[in-house]
Amino acid sequence: MYLYVYQDFQGGLLRRSETDRLIRQSAGLYAAEASAADETVRDFSHEPVERTQKGKPYFPGDPLSFSVSHTGKLWVCLMGRQTMGVDVQKVRRCRMEKIAERYYTPDEQAYIQQEGEWGFFQIWARKEAYAKFTGEGMTEKLRLFSTLKDGHVSFVDFNIMEGVAGACCIRNKEELWIRQIK
């Protein structure tokens, strides 16, 4: 699976069109890299990006899977051939204990007691990646799922920028290839 990283993302009114442009650019790069190993990969760089009712982007009619996330000016897109979710979180001050009480399992709460702020955001990125993986979004069910113990999915943590926690959620663990895009 490939993670495409863009470090000059502009939000605001153009956020959706900028996201769609970056998704198509990532898809073109993915097709160029992955087609050497998989002849069924086709170039989606000119295809329209559709969205589910909950807003998850996708390309209709193909098993190509991808997930996007952003924090500040950092934007990422994870692409591959299995269902996946990705999230990036800028480490910042927040009410960690209150959020952890609501969304974290007891073992995750113990983990952040030990690891502090970084551990909190690592777990939060995993929770968001899992929510994107399932397509359900952030729900109260997340407090029942431990990102540290439950083994029906795999997590790949990554660090692409100082002060940003990142995580991928996939069913079958794969190597993560990180590529910068402009």
* pLDDT tens, residue by residue, 124-152: 999 999 999 988 766 667 788 899 987 88
- Alpha-carbon gap, residue 41 to 34, rounded angstroms: 7
Does the global pTM surpass 0.85? yes
Question: What is the CATH T-level fold of the domain 2-180, as seen in this structure?
Answer: Ribosomal Protein L22; Chain A (3.90.470)
Q: Read off the pLDDT of residues 20-49 as tens digits, 9 standing for 90 and up.
A: 999 999 998 998 887 666 666 677 777 889
Secondary structure of residue 118 in the 3-state scheme: helix
Percent of the chain's residues with pLDDT above 70: 93
Which segments within 92-133 are labelled E, that is strand?
A: none
Torsion over CA: 33, 36, 41, 46 (sign): positive
Torsion over CA: 130, 139, 89, 60 (sign): positive
